[in-house]
Structure 1
Amino acid sequence: MSWTWRFLAPDGGNASGVDDGAGRSEAGFPTQSDAESWLGEHWRGLVEAGVDSVVLVEDGRDVYGPMSLKPPD
């Protein structure tokens, strides 16, 4: 199993410049928990890089999302 994040721009397309070139996190994670922990540590940098929301993917299957990275107003 491999867990990854797909990064989305505000228009819903793949965010560029923060991924493996296909809108996904470069690193795969062995568990869902590892992927979620990584996101908890890196979401601010992703927002600064232009990522609006993320989708958690397991072996090519969307598990949940899109989930906004923007803090509530």
Structure 2
Amino acid sequence: MIRAQWVWELLDADGMVVPEPVSPVFTAQFDAEQWLGETWRGLAGDGVAVVRLLHDGAQATPPVDLRAG
């Protein structure tokens, strides 16, 4: 059985995917959201402006703007 995968797509202010840092892959949406809650400030400091949660490659939630935090 293949487990569902959740991963954050990390975008810069121009909407381009940033090569680093890279989101871990999660098996539960809760774990992915918890990780973002713990790391969003560091991600914003690394130039990540917006994140999108992907579930098996499809966008699962609205984008989250890290600059508004």
Structures share fold, TM-score greater than 0.5: yes
Identity in percent? 41
Number of equivalent positions = 66
Q: Give the TM-score normalised by the residue count of structure 2.
A: 0.87
Q: Give the TM-score normalised by the residue count of structure 1.
A: 0.83
Aligned partner of residue 27 in structure 2, secondary structure: coil
Displaced runs of 4 or more, over 6 A:
none
What is residue 59 of structure 2 aligned with on the other side? 62
What is residue 28 of structure 1 aligned with on the other side? 25
**Larger fraction in helix:** 2
Over the residues paired in the alignment, what is the CA RMSD in angstroms? 1.2
Segments of structure 2 that go 5 or more residues without pairing to the other structure are none
Segments of structure 1 that go 5 or more residues without pairing to the other structure are 20-24
